Chains A and B, each alone.
Chain A
């Protein structure tokens, strides 16, 4: 428990006010992510994945339930506390529109640090360090429109990690990439997880992406169902197992 970076207990999210048409997107969701773990949440589109991530990252409030990140109940946060929490503890990569088009790659990556009022002279080495880690040093002066999809996502990953957040959230980060770039990004995430002990929670509907995780939780109609563990097996084997259980889970 003490080693968990994310703990979710009995999370419920109902959209719509009491007098309106209501829709419960999350029904009693509970799970945990250990420090340094690479966990995937897999489900079809509309199953509540984005809703879940939005609540975990304080972009949205749950109807009931508890979310602890780094042992802090984030559902109790208010106003600026929520923003500060996001800027310090969470790194985010989305499917698209990750980068601000009017800033260069360098400026995009530096932004989370500026927002935390880190001294400007300390920013440069931090940005260069993470850029090197993600092999994007050569494109730092480029604007997002001048980058390929894969480069953009790596810049986004750099921006998500530059301030060393407690956890990296990915919401279908490979969704808009071709298969090669997707593979590259996933391998980068895998190596970040292995070598730099970055905790990652990846949300996806794509079995291939999910096969990079150590553990997969299946979500359907707002409920967590089955769980699969990789247990150090080769990725291809795990991928096959995911495909198989997907068939059974859907039924």
Chain B
């Protein structure tokens, strides 16, 4: 009988259950997806610029963070479930159900909802991993090695982690229900009491918060000066700074707005402000945490995509010449003619006893280009520039210019090119008895645009003249491919990390807000009775939730903008193309916001036109 009652309860709250269920499924799927990466050592090792162990460490760290978020998330989801159900269960108790029986019911309900969601979530996680990997590979032109959507250890970790958490929350719920007096279950309206905060304390807190944030931002920007201490310093100050900023600045701001009667006494503004005031107190810790997670997630995506941008910049920087033509036939000639050439230089050589001879005069007539790495220090990467040697640079034996020339003009790939490439005077060169051959050093305007054609020309040469296969294997084009796959891995991981974090933190916020919705129902009902237009109520909800979403978002964006300073060590320009990850991220975040607003409205806004 009771079970039947419990089931009817579920039916009447179908929409809320769907929300809860899909939330849990998303979290399990995200967790699983993340774990497929974090536990796949082969994948991490093959796709990162860092060693497999380092990457494992980063992902281990990410996994712990994700674990903590998941925990917080489940606590909120669980309180959402309890808020939703406690009245029903209170009612059953009123009707005389034994509390042991109720405890059993809520235990079974919590645990089975949790486990079903976990199983479905993991299954979806497998599919999603596959889809996401495919999408990223296609959209970003990434290449991934050793990535499997189904990874048994990840599956086990997910099941065990969620299983343990759900058993714990099931125990927690049943213990709580049995202990709470029935009347309290029936009428649990959280009553906001007066917030007694002295303005002086608030101002001090606000200043402290801002000062801490400033220190944190400064330390990230001055990593050169502070070295490794910068990161823990930034972490501590930013966490505390976010907390104080939320705790003081916004409360102060809201009370300021409330006191301004010209602003506050219009429409529902005063009500909305009061809701926020009440909420923000309750949410401070949560919002501070979310702003930081937001920053981590957005940072991960930004850095990931940043690496993607760097591929072209770095590949362009690996070599001054985009293509070397060793072998000329009609096919190669026509193909070269189709390139968007920037410069083309022909050099003549003779091969005697396995050594390649060039005339210094020819080099002096048309000196080679080289890559100048500038004063790139360890703390900051600078974009290298292409420069050209001067004629007198070739005079000295063993000069950098000759060394460079030997690298580009070698016709065989061997350990020491200096030995096999020799530079002699024009007279000596003429005296050598061997046929004169020549090669072309070619630069194009846009390597990325022409890279496909360049690759084809290189393979055509290797086919027609296999003796050049070994030098061709050292080409810029080949190097570009290697870079690309390395950075692909980083991009993929950044994306993955970012999206998983976002999904979790936004769901956390969503459930936190929705679980408060049940205590708001009465307030909105009253406003409706007083004759508040539906549109006005909706607007108030949109603003209230909008502020709760925007605050951590804005602070998180600030964190990222400053945090990217840290990546100047690894990247040339971490801020390049920054709009893309921001746009992706903000779109996803807005989707969460809209979803939350929609669900919240469904819970609190009464239907005005009751049809007969």
Contact = CB atoms under 8 A, between A and B. Distances in A.
Interface of A: 13-14, 57, 59-63, 78-80, 82-88, 90, 92, 94, 97-98, 100-103, 107, 110-115, 117, 120-121, 123-124, 143, 145-146, 159
Given A14-B612, A123-B261, A101 B192 contact: yes
A117 B189 CA distance: 30
B413 interface: no
A90 B528 CA distance: 12
18 contacts: A59-B529, A59-B610, A61-B611, A61-B612, A62-B612, A82-B608, A97-B526, A100-B271, A100-B527, A101-B189, A107-B270, A110-B270, A112-B530, A117-B266, A124-B261, A145-B192, A145-B193, A159-B530
Contact of B270 (A84, A101, A103): A103
Interface stretch (B273-281, B365-373, B495-503): B273-281
B258 to A, nearest CB: 8
B533 A80 contact: yes
Interface in B517-574: 522-523, 526-536
Contacts of A61: 609-612
Contacts of A102: 192, 271, 274-275, 277-278, 523
Q: Determine which residue in A14, A78, A107, A159 has the highest number of CB atoms from chain B within 10 A of its CB, and name it.
A: A107
Interface residues of B, number: 37
A102 B271 CA distance: 8
A115 B609 contact: no
Contact of A110 (B189, B265, B278): B265
Contacts of B534: 79-80, 83
Q: Determine which residue in B270, B275, B522 has the highest number of CB atoms from chain A within 10 A of its CB, and name it.
A: B270
B520 to A, nearest CB: 10
A83 B533 contact: yes
A114 B531 contact: no
Nearest to A144: B191
Contacts of B533: 80, 83-84
A129 B189 CA distance: 32
Contacts of B278: 102
B261 A86 contact: no
B4 interface: no
A12 to B, nearest CB: 10
B342 interface: no
Q: Determine which residue in B194, B261, B265 has the highest number of CB atoms from chain A within 10 A of its CB, and name it.
A: B265
Contacts of B531: 83-88, 90, 112, 115
A24 B538 CA distance: 33
Contact of A60 (B527, B530, B536, B610): B610
A102 B270 CA distance: 10
Nearest to B261: A120
B578 interface: no
Nearest to A114: B265
Contacts of A92: 529-530
B522 A97 contact: yes
Q: Determine which residue in A78, A83, A124 has the highest number of CB atoms from chain B within 10 A of its CB, and name it.
A: A83
B262 interface: yes
B269 interface: yes
Contact of A117 (B267, B274, B530, B609): B267
Contact of A100 (B523, B609, B612): B523
A86 B265 contact: no
A63 B611 CA distance: 9
Contacts of A143: 192-194
Interface string B193-206: 11000000000000
B265 A80 contact: no
B191 A103 contact: no
A-B complex: 8 closest residue pairs judged by Cβ atoms: A87-B531, A86-B531, A120-B265, A102-B274, A83-B533, A120-B261, A63-B612, A83-B531
Contacts of A117: 266-267
A98 B529 CA distance: 10
A82 B191 contact: no
Contacts of B265: 110, 113-114, 120, 123
A100 B265 CA distance: 15
A199 B498 CA distance: 63
B612 to A, nearest CB: 5
Interface string B30-58: 00000000000000000000000000000
B132 interface: no
A92 B530 CA distance: 7
Contacts of A112: 530-531
Interface of B: 189, 191-194, 261-262, 264-271, 274-275, 277-278, 522-523, 526-536, 608-612
Contacts of A83: 528, 531-534, 608
Contacts of B526: 97-98, 100
Given A100-B527, A101-B192, A102-B523, 13 more contacts: A61-B610, A61-B612, A79-B608, A82-B608, A84-B533, A86-B530, A87-B530, A97-B522, A98-B526, A102-B274, A103-B270, A115-B267, A120-B261
Nearest to A169: B529
Contacts of A103: 270-271, 274
A62 B278 CA distance: 38
Nearest to B193: A145
Q: Determine which residue in A97, A115, A124, A143 has the highest number of CB atoms from chain B within 10 A of its CB, and name it.
A: A115
A84 B528 CA distance: 10
Given A102-B278, A143-B193, A114 B609 contact: no
Nearest to B275: A102
Contacts of A88: 531
Contact of B530 (A62, A79, A115, A124): A115
A139 to B, nearest CB: 13
Contacts of B193: 143, 145
Contact of A114 (B189, B270, B274): B270
Contacts of A59: 528-529, 610
A74 B270 CA distance: 29
A152 B531 CA distance: 20
A51 to B, nearest CB: 11
Contacts of A78: 609
Contacts of A120: 261-262, 264-266
A118 to B, nearest CB: 8
Nearest to A165: B531
A146 B195 CA distance: 13
A87 B528 CA distance: 9
A98 B193 CA distance: 17
Contacts of A13: 612
B348 to A, nearest CB: 88
A154 to B, nearest CB: 17
Contacts of A97: 522, 526
Contacts of B269: 114
Nearest to A18: B612
A103 B527 CA distance: 12
A159 B529 CA distance: 12
Q: Determine which residue in A79, A113, A159 has the highest number of CB atoms from chain B within 10 A of its CB, and name it.
A: A79
A159 B268 CA distance: 15
A13 to B, nearest CB: 8
A114 B194 CA distance: 22
Q: Determine which residue in B269, B522, B612 has the highest number of CB atoms from chain A within 10 A of its CB, and name it.
A: B612
A211 B152 CA distance: 77
Nearest to B524: A100
